[in-house]
Each structure stands twice: as C-alpha cells, then as structure tokens.
C-alpha cells in the first residue's frame, strides 16, 4: 500500500502547477505543444485529443469534466484541441476523435475504458495502484465491493509460485481490473476459502466466481476475462469495443420490445452460462441499432439471432424463417462451437456483363476472378458512400486500361465491401475503404498497397510486384548486379 500512497502523493504534488492552464471553472487542463510534456511526463495522466466540431467529443465533455473533478487531487486529466495543435496531434498518431491516451512519465498507452465518468475514474484509480494491492483481513470485504469487478487472491506465502502466477496475470490485466491479495488466516476463514485461492467478486450475475484450475498466469488471466463478462448484457457504443477485444465470438439477440426481451430473452439467457468462455451473449436494442443487422447478414425482422466471429469477420445468422426457441438456438450454438456451421456469405448477383476494363467482383465470383492462379489481380474494396473511393474511381478506370499494356494477365478489379463478403478462408479482412490488395498469380500471395492513389504509383507498383508485371525479372537482374558489384569490390585473401 505504501507504493500506491507514494504515487498518489507525487501525482497530487505535481498536478497543482498546471491547474492554472485549465479553463476557468474547469478541472480539465487545456494543453499546447509548449505545455504538453509537463503533463505527459507526470507519473500518471490522461489526455484527450479532440476536435471542437466532433459529436462524440461533445458527448464525452461532461463525463470527462466529472472525472477530472473527482481525480484532480491525484491524476490530471487534460485535452488537446487538434484543430489548433495540428503538429502535436500528428506526432501522437491521432487518427480520429476523440483519441484518449494514458501517459506514464511520457510513455503513452491506449485508454481502454468506456467514455463515462465512472469508467474513467475507476480505470485511472486502477492504474494508480500497484498491480496487486496488499490487503489486511479487515479490508478484504471493503476492497471486494470497491468496483463492479474485483479479484482477490488468498495466499499463505507471497513467495509461492501460485502468488507469482497471480501477480503476473494481474500485471497483464491491470488496465482493466482491480486485483488484491491477502495472506491473513482470518481473511481465509471469513471468505470460507482454503489458500491458495482466487475469488472474482462482481456486482451482477452470480456475485462471485472461484478459480478452480492450475495456478498458471494464462489460466488465471483467462478465468478473469471469461467470468467477468456479464452472462447476457445489453450491448451499445459504450461496451461494444470491450466485446470485440475479447476475441470470443459474440451472439446477438435482436429484440425490439420489452415483451420480446421478457419472453424470447428469458428463454435464451440460460444458454449464455452454458456456453460461457466459448460464445458471449448480448441483447441488442433493434429499435436503436436495427441497422447493424444488415452488417451481420440479417433482415430487419425481430426477434433475430446471429453469431459474429469478429476476428475473421464471419457471420452465422439463425434462419429467420424459423421461430426462436431455446432448444433450436442451443443446437445452433452447439453446432457453431463444434465447427459444423457454414458462415453466411453475403453476395450480390454475378453481373451478366463483366467485360469492362475493371472487373466487378461479388462474393460468389471472388474465387473465380481473384484467385485465378494465371493472373495477378489488383482489387479495390470500396463503399458507395465513401468519398475517397469516389475520388479514386476515375483513376481506377484509367488503370484498368493501362494495366493491359503491361500484361493481359493483370486484372484490375473492384468489389463493393458493403454488399459482399470475403470467403471464410480469405487471409485478410477489410477494415476500411478504400482497401487495395494485390493477389499475385501462382500462389495467390497477398500484397497490401499503401502508396499514393495515382495512376503512376499504381503502374509502378504492378511492375514491381505483379508476377506478370516484370517485377521478377527486375529482381533477378538487380540481384545479378548486386552480386557482380560484390565480386568487383571483394579482395581475395
């Protein structure tokens, strides 16, 4: 506890100096390039990079202010206006608003909490503590009730291998969870545990879970990450990222009325516990987020159920022609877990006329066109609403004509990423638009295109990288020249 007290005192002592820079009446410090390092170099601080016109930033502002007021004696909260401090924001790789970063003595890391005052306060308080807080027997109950999720370890000896594994797991997860430990016999008796033991306390579902596996860092971390997830919570913008980062497939139950939640939801909720650790279950309010159904290959008809394997971006919708009931949904989820389900492939119809300079690819035709081993295929994944895609379109059409002059075995293609899915075995996912990939002839190796979106740059890229673009011959010639140069510049002994 001394370590955490020392850190909090140090933070409090250094915070006062920069409070004068904060706006009048605000506990959030406004930073410029001249004052940034003063806050970022502190033992612990939180900095928001924002734009005044950003809607999400405006929504965050009152929550951020509340958190700043609560934490002002220990952890400074600051903000940078990226419309005025452009270079500073570029230096810190700010690509969207708001971007929130934690700084420890100048070292940044991503803020992974929710954008609410309570979440920010809890998150930063955790970071101000050591990975594992030492607890006396009379403090265990109070500590266990101090947050929504708290983990307490009970050990006879801090030098034991079990404690070391617990401490390692705590250090790995310290940004998200609060860990404590006690070595006092009185605490063991009060909690009715036999050391070594680990108990996760939570303010929902069962109330607590006890670790019952081998004391290894990985097993402990997995236990915490698994049982800390609510059995069936409602998903929204504030916790969507948490579920995506878990890496566990997510089962959505779309409901549009309280009645659907009471009937269908209560029928399916027990499955969340049965498949815990393999599939996470959530409710999603179809009246607010019904549009997300299309992203998951569902029609906007409720209630509806779908499993999303986010790491591969694969969707498994339950047949909407059938009524949802616990028995059928259980069988469906079990088949998914056993690898018996085929993912849904969204695809437009194959165009009847596809003889243009740029080939149109849809989900159904992807293997035939893009994976043609005789040809190199440079494909653009686009969205009809994407401004950058619209700006690229004339150049892409021109490239279709020019590529034929290099080789008739180079194909320029495009695919609407909003209406078509990649095959389940594709070695990549599309995260934004436009995304441009070269799928090479022969082994279908995929090469990312990250150059300028100009005709000249695309042509140079194809000549350098396409199997049929002359790149192989160039490479062999260059290697020959390098070998010759090496031989000419080498003195034999």
Domain 358-475 in CATH 3.30.450.40? The answer is no
pLDDT of residue 162: 98
pLDDT of residue 487: 39
Q: How far apart are CA 292 and CA 112, in angstroms?
A: 23
Q: How far apart are CA 231 and CA 62, in angstroms?
A: 30
pLDDT of residue 322: 95
pLDDT of residue 27: 95
pLDDT at 469 over 50: yes
pLDDT of residue 62: 97
**Helix, coil or strand: residue 304:** strand
pLDDT at 307 over 90: yes
pLDDT of residue 471: 56
pLDDT of residue 87: 92
Active site residue ranges: 54, 57, 386, 389
Q: How far apart are CA 414 and CA 417, in angstroms?
A: 9
Q: What is the DSSP letter of 338?
A: T
**Fold of the 131-227 domain:** Glutaredoxin (3.40.30)
pLDDT of residue 239: 87
Share of the chain above pLDDT 70, in %: 90
Domain 2-126 in CATH 2.10.70.10? The answer is no
pLDDT at 23 over 80: no
For 60-87, what is the mean pLDDT? 96
pLDDT at 208 over 90: yes
pLDDT of residue 238: 81
Cβ neighbours, 10 Å, residue 416 = 17
Assign domain 232-337 to its CATH architecture. Answer: 3-Layer(aba) Sandwich (3.40)
Share of the chain above pLDDT 90, in %: 79
pLDDT of residue 4: 41
pLDDT band at 242 (very low <50, low <70, confident <90, very high): confident
Which tokens sit at 205? 């579902």
Q: How far apart are CA 464 and CA 196, in angstroms?
A: 60
Q: What are the tens digits of pLDDT across the range 437-468?
A: 999 999 999 999 989 999 999 999 999 999 99
pLDDT at 146 over 50: yes
pLDDT of residue 174: 84
pTM: 0.65
- Positive or negative, the Cα torsion across 437, 441, 444, 445? negative
**Residue 91, strand partner residues:** none
pLDDT of residue 244: 84
Helices then strands, counting H and E runs in the chain, come out as: 19, 20
The average confidence (pLDDT) of the chain is 90
Q: How far apart are CA 300 and CA 172, in angstroms?
A: 40
Q: How far apart are CA 399 and CA 458, in angstroms?
A: 8
Most confident of 15-24, 117-126, 316-325: 316-325
pLDDT at 482 over 90: no
- Using alpha carbons, select from 412, 421, 424, 428 the residue that is nearest to residue 466: 412
pLDDT at 313 over 90: no
pLDDT at 428 over 70: yes
For the chain, what are the domain ranges? 2-126, 131-227, 232-337, 358-475
**Helix, coil or strand: residue 197:** strand
For 322-327, what is the mean pLDDT? 95
Q: How far apart are CA 317 and CA 296, in angstroms?
A: 7
pLDDT of residue 126: 81
Q: Please confirm whether the linkage preceding 454 is cis (ω < 30° from 0).
A: no
For 10-19, b where at least 16 C-beta lie within 10 A, e where not — what string?
ebeebbeebe
pLDDT band at 336 (very low <50, low <70, confident <90, very high): very high
The residue with tokens 């999400």 is 56
Q: What are the tens digits of pLDDT across the range 348-390?
A: 999 999 999 999 999 999 999 999 999 999 999 999 999 999 9
Q: How far apart are CA 407 and CA 324, in angstroms?
A: 54
Q: How far apart are CA 199 and CA 191, in angstroms?
A: 9
- Using alpha carbons, select from 49, 65, 78, 70 the residue that is nearest to residue 121: 70
Q: What is the DSSP letter of 362?
A: -
pLDDT band at 24 (very low <50, low <70, confident <90, very high): low
pLDDT of residue 299: 94
Q: Which of these ranges, 13-22, 138-147, 161-170, 250-259, has the smallest mean pLDDT?
A: 13-22
- Using alpha carbons, select from 79, 86, 74, 104 the residue that is nearest to residue 29: 79
Q: How far is CA 248 from CA 76, 226, 292, 307, in A?
A: 34, 9, 19, 10
């Amino acid at each position: 506890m001394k370590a955490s007290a020392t850190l909090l005192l140090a933070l409090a002592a250094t915070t006062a100096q920069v409070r004068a820079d904060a706006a009048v009446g605000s506990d959030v410090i406004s930073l410029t390039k001249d004052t940034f390092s003063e806050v970022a170099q502190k033992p612990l601080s939180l900095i928001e990079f924002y734009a005044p016109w950003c809607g999400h930033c405006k929504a965050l502002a009152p929550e951020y202010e509340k958190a700043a007021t609560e934490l002002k004696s220990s952890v400074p909260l600051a903000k940078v206006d990226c419309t005025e401090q452009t270079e500073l924001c570029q230096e810190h790789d700010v690509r969207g608003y708001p971007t929130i970063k934690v700084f420890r003595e100048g070292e940044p890391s991503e803020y992974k909490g929710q954008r609410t005052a309570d979440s920010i306060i809890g998150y930063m308080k955790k970071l101000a503590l050591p990975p594992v807080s030492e607890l006396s027997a009379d403090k265990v109950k109070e500590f266990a009730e101090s947050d929504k999720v708290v983990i307490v370890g009970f050990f006879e000896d801090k030098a034991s291998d079990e404690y070391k594994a617990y401490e390692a797991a705590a250090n790995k997860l310290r940004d998200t969870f609060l860990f404590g430990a006690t070595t006092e016999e009185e605490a063991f008796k009060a909690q009715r545990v036999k050391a070594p033991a680990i108990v996760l306390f939570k303010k929902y579902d069962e109330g607590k879970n006890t670790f019952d596996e081998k004391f290894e860092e990985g097993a402990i971390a997995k236990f915490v990450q698994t049982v800390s997830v609510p059995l069936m919570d409602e998903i929204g913008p504030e916790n969507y990222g948490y579920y995506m980062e878990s890496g566990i497939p997510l089962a959505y139950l779309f409901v549009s009325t309280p009645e659907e939640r009471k009937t269908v939801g209560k029928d399916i909720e027990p499955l969340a516990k049965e498949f815990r650790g393999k599939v996470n279950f959530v409710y999603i309010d179809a009246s607010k987020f019904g549009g997300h159904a299309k992203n998951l290959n569902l029609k906007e008809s409720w209630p509806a159920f779908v499993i999303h394997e986010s790491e591969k971006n694969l969707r498994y919708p339950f047949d909407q022609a059938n009524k949802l009931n616990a028995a059928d949904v259980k069988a469906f989820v079990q088949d998914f877990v056993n690898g018996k389900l085929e993912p849904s492939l969204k695809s437009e119809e194959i165009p009847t006329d596809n003889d243009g300079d740029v080939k149109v690819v849809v989900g159904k035709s992807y293997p035939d066109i893009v994976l043609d081993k005789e040809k190199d295929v440079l494909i653009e994944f686009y969205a009809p609403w994407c401004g950058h895609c619209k700006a690229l379109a004339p150049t892409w059409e021109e490239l279709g004509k020019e590529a034929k002059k290099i080789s008739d075995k180079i194909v320029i293609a495009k695919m609407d990423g909003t209406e078509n899915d990649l095959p389940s075995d594709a070695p990549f996912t599309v995260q934004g638009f436009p995304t441009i990939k070269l799928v090479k002839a022969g082994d279908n190796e995929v090469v990312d295109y990250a150059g300028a979106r100009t005709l000249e740059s695309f042509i140079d890229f194809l000549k350098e990288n396409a199997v049929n673009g002359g790149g192989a011959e160039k490479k062999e010639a260059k290697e020959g020249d390098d070998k010759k140069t090496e031989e000419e510049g080498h003195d034999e002994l």
